[in-house]
Amino acid sequence: MKNMSMRLLLLVWLLAGAAWAGNSFTIAVVPDTQLEVLDGKDTRLANRFQWLIAHRAALNLQCVLQSGDLVNWDTADHFQYERASAAAKLLDEARLPYIFALGNHDTWATGGTPEKPGGSARPGNVHDNLRNTAVYNQYFPLKRFTLLGGVFEPGKIDNAWHTFQAGGHDWLVINLELWARSNAVAWAKTVADQHPAHNVILLTHSFLTNGKTIEQRNGGYGDNSPQYIFDHLVAPSPNFRLVFCGHTGAHGYRLDRGAAGNEIHEFLQTYHDPVTNPVRLFTIDTQAGTIQTRVVCPSLGQDKADGSTLEIKGVQWMPAAARP
């Protein structure tokens, strides 16, 4: 009955949009999964990826994004990374592209001490520890990101850009480090400027607050606030269209305008969910100018009934580039 209900929901979702051929496609955004890698018997992360792979054709799913805090903290045996990496291997084998942002729990800043393991700050300079992502990059090297176009720092996925084509348009995803350094923000602005015909998506861990405002703080140990990132990267770039983030709260949506009058649609999806495995789906119809979004929990076979389902109309995308 659960599987039948899920198939019915998916059919209704597909019929609600315009014809898939050519114009309509889906992006999946996975929220913080740090609670899903603590127990070797927990299958929620793999189950989510399996569901996305199984529904890839029906959704015309182009890529899977993850908004940070993939793991909760690192340990000597790296068992949380081992589990996250094994789950992502399902996407590798299905050749379903993915793009991940790094959260504070994905860095050396979070980990604790032998007396207080897990979740608290590690000893040492917490600011410097935030930029220590060696273990993350060991388990998620550049070669795993098949849409990758370039990086800010050689050999590190912390700040990177990725491109794909869908719906007759060009798309650029920039994953930006948490509470980013000024030079990383400037680098990202240059990338956006170098792709003037692309619809740009920012993927970063902290951006919106639970109150649907842009975060004004840098966490106390980062560099620049999300407001700085908005002011120096997002707002000045006429081709920015979407921002995806996590870190706090559960879900939220905010609409801002850039300096060129372009609408910027910003979505929060966090869900520190100890039971289910939510994933937000964004179905974009470039011809109709719509975004349909919902949060589905594959482990339950149903959508979140929390007000996160939304349809946005009148979206103006960057003009489609001429195709040879």
pLDDT digits (tens, 9 = 90+) for 68-112: 999 999 998 999 999 999 999 999 999 999 999 999 999 999 986
According to CATH, what is the number of the domain 2-312? Answer: 3.60.21.10
CB 192, CB 236: distance < 8 Å: no
The answer on pLDDT for 18 being more than 50 is no
Mean per-residue pLDDT for 256-263?
Answer: 97
Q: Give the pLDDT confidence of 132-155 residue by residue, as tens digits.
A: 999 999 999 999 999 999 999 999
pLDDT band at 322 (very low <50, low <70, confident <90, very high): low
Select from 28, 32, 56 the least CA-distant residue to 44: 32
Q: Any idea which residue has 């000045």 for tokens?
A: 236
CA 279 – CA 141 distance, rounded (Å): 24
SS3 126: helix
Q: Could you tell me where the beta strands, DSSP code E, fall in the chain?
A: 24-30, 61-66, 98-100, 110-112, 117-121, 148-151, 160-166, 169-176, 199-204, 240-245, 251-257, 263-269, 279-285, 290-297, 302-303, 310-312
Residue boundaries of the structural domains of the chain: 2-312
CA 156 – CA 22 distance, rounded (Å): 34
SS3 278: coil
CA 105 – CA 28 distance, rounded (Å): 21
Q: Give the pLDDT confidence of 155-188 residue by residue, as tens digits.
A: 999 999 999 999 999 999 999 999 999 999 999 9
Q: Any idea which residue has 């100018």 for tokens?
A: 289
Helix residue ranges, H only, the chain: 2-16, 44-54, 56-59, 79-94, 126-130, 134-139, 182-193, 226-229
Q: How many CB atoms lie within 10 A of CB 225?
A: 19
Select from 45, 39, 27, 41 the least CA-distant residue to 299: 45
